[in-house]
Amino acid sequence: MKKGKIIRTAGPLVVASDCLGAKMYDMVKIGDIGLIGEIIELKEDRAFIQVYEDTTGIGPGEPVELTGKPLSVELGPGLISSVFDGIQRPLDVIKEKEGDFITRGIDVPPLNREKKWDFKPFVKKGQKVEEGDFLGEIEETPLIKHKIMVPSGKNGTVIKIKKGKMLIEEVAAVIKSEEKEHEVRLFQVWSIRKNRLVKKREMPEIPLVTGQRVLDTLFPLAKGGTACIPGPFGSGKTVVQHQLAKWSDAQIIVFVACGERGNEVADLLLSFPKLKDPSTGRPLMERTIIIANTSNMPVAAREASIYTGMTIAEYFRDMGYSVALMADSSSRWAEALREISGRMEEMPGEEGYPAYLASRIAEFYERAGKVICLGSDNREGALSVIGAVSPPGGDLSDPVVQSTLKVVKVFWALDDKLANMRHFPAINWLNSYSLYAESIKDYWDKEIAEDFSEIRQEAMKLLEKESELQEIARLVGVESLSDQDRLVLESSKSIREDFLHQNAFHPQDTYTSLRKQYLMMRTIIHFHNSGLKALKEGINLEDILKLEIREKISKMKFLEEKGDDPDVLDLFIEINNVFKELLKKKG
């Protein structure tokens, strides 16, 4: 391999000479110990290299090995349940070999080369296949069947296909095209900077059910959609991300801990193996991949970590799975960009971030989507991306937040005031929005209830009306409001405390199905409308607010879900009977 020579080092940035023939984003090995790096700029024969490990002790004159290949990830059996660092080094394997700290320059293959996988072929000798077609499958975990696909750009006739147990480096099939024969192994290698190809992109129309009521009912995310969770320190970004990873109905979860504190990542690694998948009862790790690049790891690897996670997520999307990628937090990734940009002496943009910050963020989120995958069967896959942003002091005018909001369609605005009031999830219902509500309206109305959208709209109107009335009440006092307006305040309070507030640690309250969410919201709205009718009939507001049924409404979120939730349905009927009785006494 061709070798260059180090002429300058500046933290994670190394400049090397004698690099003619090198290409942008090629992977290189730095110094005598072989640190992993990536070329991010070329000038004449000089290469500017972003090094993904600590460069302490590396100096001018040391060799730089040019591999001629881009920074890539291995995609194949063994990804599920694994914990990787930002450049796909398996942390559990490194721990067994080296202990608690990663040795610089260590070279460990991402996927296990010694484990044998049971390959079951789908195709026969002589069968024609095209790129993206399934050659067979491996049961990687009880939850996930790993499909072995024809690599991109390969078409032809199967002239050899194996069956049974084999190592991932063994040739599973041979495909012959007009030009030559292509050997297909159980794993592929793909550049992290390059989007995986698809046939067609489609409009997301099915909600990603998370079990979090404020998200699913008021600000839904569609499968294949993009969402942003900005918020100040302590407002609950990581807890919301963990809840989404635990409870969302995506089949594969890729969690990228990008520059997060070590204790949060440790909590993730300790809690996930103990959690059960709600639909199957199996351990949650059997459908989860974690990219752990904590804040004490080299800053340059932080920049690569979200691309590593995205490429792995795209790979499972191509199998026809619904995948959800959580990036926590993209602010730390942007800070890594800023540091490298500063060391390269580039012209700084707003707040010191590089001028290309917005385009990099857009490129990342654009890789999400609902797609028709490559292959002859026209299968659908979906990749949803949820990115947390940590602006300094919770300032939403921060360039990272603003650049993210330009490309995502769901905005979950975390509010530290709500967090301080112990209202979780601390998502502000007046500032948040979802542009998917209209596209998934048909799903709600067909699959859940005909009036789901109407009930949601009524709830939003009540919350907006409450905000207006609270301003008036601060000036003139609650007592000066009309009975109808005071009932609006009480009903909105019920929506906030009995519906939007959710306890992540309560076994019944931590997750709510869409059907139960609808029934809960309908019950609150029905009580409000019944109260308005009663006021018109001359019933006193105090008599309405004293009704015992209100206490039952406040506790309905703790009811166990059984079938069609008859307990919540009973509340609806009970409200009718209570108001009939009230009118009867009056009449």
**Other Cβ atoms closer than 10 A to 393:** 8
pLDDT at 565: 63
pLDDT at 564: 60
CA-nearest of 517, 478, 475, 480 to 495 is: 517
The count of residues in the chain is 587
Residues of the chain predicted below pLDDT 70 = 1, 278, 563-566, 587
Query: pTM of the predicted model, to two decimals?
Result: 0.93
Q: Answer positive or negative: Cα dihedral of 498, 500, 506, 507.
A: positive
Contact in structure between 453 and 459 (CB atoms under 8 Å): no
CA distance 370 to 381: 6
For residue range 442-462, what is the model confidence (pLDDT) as tens digits? 999 999 999 999 999 999 999
Torsions phi, psi for 61 (to 5 deg): 100, -20
The domains found in the chain, sorted by start residue, are 3-70 (2.40.30.20), 113-189 (2.40.50.100), 200-256+283-435 (3.40.50.300), 449-586 (1.10.1140.10)
CA distance 286 to 80: 6
CA-nearest of 173, 52, 170 to 122 is: 173
pLDDT at 587: 64
Q: Nearest 5 degrees, angle CA 401-CA 422-CA 565?
A: 100
Contact in structure between 401 and 230 (CB atoms under 8 Å): yes
Residues near 438 by Cβ (< 8 Å), separated by ≥ 6? Answer: none
Contact in structure between 532 and 484 (CB atoms under 8 Å): yes
pLDDT at 566: 62
pLDDT at 434: 97
Distance of CA 449 to the CA centre of its chain: 28
Would you give the DSSP letter of residue 272?
Answer: G
pLDDT at 322: 96
Q: Nearest 5 degrees, angle CA 254-CA 256-CA 260?
A: 150
State both tokens at 230.
Answer: 């900005």
Contact in structure between 389 and 331 (CB atoms under 8 Å): yes
pLDDT at 236: 82
